Structure 1
């Protein structure tokens, strides 16, 4: 890992294993720290993860409060599984002020971002442990944890059943595992943009869904097969009008990825409308719009090791 102000982290180095069966959807952001696509453009992927944290910060506080209500009392160690740039790690550290945070990811570049951000976020060096590991290979040597948190990461692993068994073994009795998934890409645009056919964003989302973007199962049976006892499931509805700061940049990045990934699946007039939205000098471009909103749903599962 590159030099930073944080103490040199312990690393468990494994070869990178690309995820099989890459599709158009692999080029879309889903806030997954271990998402496919990060390997070939880690800097851009890290920027999207940080932007997701900026735009969805209030939801993270709501999510960690929900986790706290189901967590063991005074957890001592929390594993962030697929930590990425550390959005979840920092949120967990704020909510559980006495816990050690173990941030696990296969990308050194993303973990460097976390190390750089931790001091400014008030996360002391003795509360953060960095573990670079490819969890498709094996669970790393980490002391038993009280909470395992996998946010937008579990569906990217080659064998989720095996990873959940690993998490079961890694948790102390009574420990909590939390899985969170984005149900669909965030929405930002009004139905009628004033240009092109109404419903552009909905059509982009339909194409993305058919391509497998944000595809994930109901994790309940997976958790039960691994030996966990389900205790809660909740869908977080995120809405803001007008959209919060950062949403314009998020929408720009997402629409550019739609434009790149689905240029062979979207109608020609929809591609033209996307080009107008993404242009610097068009009067209806994102940069000139004042009608952006934010809409998104994320589902969380919480289960306990008996």
Structure 2
């Protein structure tokens, strides 16, 4: 069992790349790898996601929710738990993710409350998504080719007094202590720096401050929050697998910029059969922040 220590406080900050799941870009892992990291993310960060759904400044319990860029259902199922009378339209561009979400819904006995819809959210038109009371977009908005257009579409979509929640991770999670690994201390920081440079070129909306962008699209920003994540992972198999999958993704975007010594040290951590595997470490923690902006169509 993981022990999490959420700290919820008002704050304004830029957002994070999130995990791939909405639109492809260089360095993006395959669909199975995406699904695995999304599922692990949901498991490890469940308490923090629940803290966000509990905070949302709604005027009443929503009856119709749209999960925009739903992936394998992290937000969908958190919202179903939070709002037991709601029905959710889960939207994504990956048929494989939508199929996985449907299977989960059936396994949980909530298939009658979930409708899955395929859509290219960067396309010229969207399918009919109704008039939702709440639109939830977690780790998906930064993937949009034209976020301003997407924000305007969401504003037009919402029911009167409906709420739009934009949720982003503030950077890929970190797992290792600063002095690890022993032969290359600070490796994780250097990998993140290299990955940040990659994403600055290939995912330009990573790190966007969604508050001003929401305002420019005709929303009033009703709230902004940061949920700090600091989870002790010693001996936790799920967190070890989460670290392994996350570091593999980090390697995809950082490898070309790393010196050979750092790349070799990273590969030793990723070698699941070797003595230095991240799966064998007993000093892992999950450290990141999850940021949320809540907007309502301005009158």
TM score, norm. by length of structure 1: 0.84
CA contact (8 A) 1:29 1:48 kept: no
Q: Distance in 1 between matches of 2:193 and 2:52?
A: 27
Q: What's the counterpart of residue 208 of structure 2?
A: 217
Number of equivalent positions: 276
Q: How does 1:28-47 map to 2 (within 5 A)?
A: 30-37=18-25, 41-47=30-36
Q: What's the counterpart of residue 50 of structure 1?
A: 39
Matched, 1:126 2:73: no
Give the superposition deviation at 1:120: 2.5
Runs (5+) with no aligned partner, structure 2 = 1-15
Q: 2:264 aligns with which of 261, 272, 276?
A: 272
Q: Deviations over 1:228-270 (max 9, x none)?
A: 1111001110001235541211211222233343322111211
Matched, 1:173 2:165: no
Matched, 1:136 2:128: no
CA contact (8 A) 1:84 1:105 kept: yes
Q: Distance in 1 between matches of 2:38 and 2:252?
A: 19
Q: What's the counterpart of residue 88 of structure 2?
A: 101
CA contact (8 A) 2:151 2:214 kept: yes
Runs (5+) with no aligned partner, structure 1 = 1-27
Q: Bigger relative contact order, structure 1 or 2, given CA contacts below 8 A and separation 6+? A: 2
Q: Which stretch of the first structure deviates more once superposed, 198-207 or 238-247?
A: 238-247
Q: What's the counterpart of residue 234 of structure 1?
A: 225
Q: 1:155 to 1:273 in 2, by over 3 A?
A: same
Q: Distance in 2 between matches of 1:48 and 1:247?
A: 11
Q: Distance in 2 between matches of 1:54 and 1:99?
A: 22
Q: Deviations over 1:169-192 (max 9, x none)?
A: 111111100001111110100111
Q: 1:267 to 1:84 in 2, by over 3 A?
A: same
Q: Distance in 2 between matches of 1:283 and 1:256?
A: 17
Q: Distance in 1 between matches of 2:142 and 2:252?
A: 23
Matched, 1:92 2:82: no
Q: Which stretch of the first structure deviates more once superposed, 230-239 or 250-259?
A: 250-259
CA contact (8 A) 1:195 1:273 kept: no
Q: How does 1:245-264 map to 2 (within 5 A)?
A: 245-264=237-256
TM score, norm. by length of structure 2: 0.86
Q: 1:280 to 1:46 in 2, by over 3 A?
A: closer
Q: Distance in 2 between matches of 1:32 and 1:280?
A: 23
Q: Distance in 1 between matches of 2:252 and 2:226?
A: 30
Give the superposition deviation at 1:29: 7.9
Give the superposition deviation at 1:157: 0.9
Q: Distance in 2 between matches of 1:53 and 1:158?
A: 25
Q: Distance in 1 between matches of 2:18 and 2:24?
A: 10
Q: Distance in 2 between matches of 1:272 and 1:240?
A: 27
Matched, 1:154 2:145: no
Q: What's the counterpart of residue 193 of structure 1?
A: 180
SS in 2 for 1:240: strand
SS in 2 for 1:212: helix
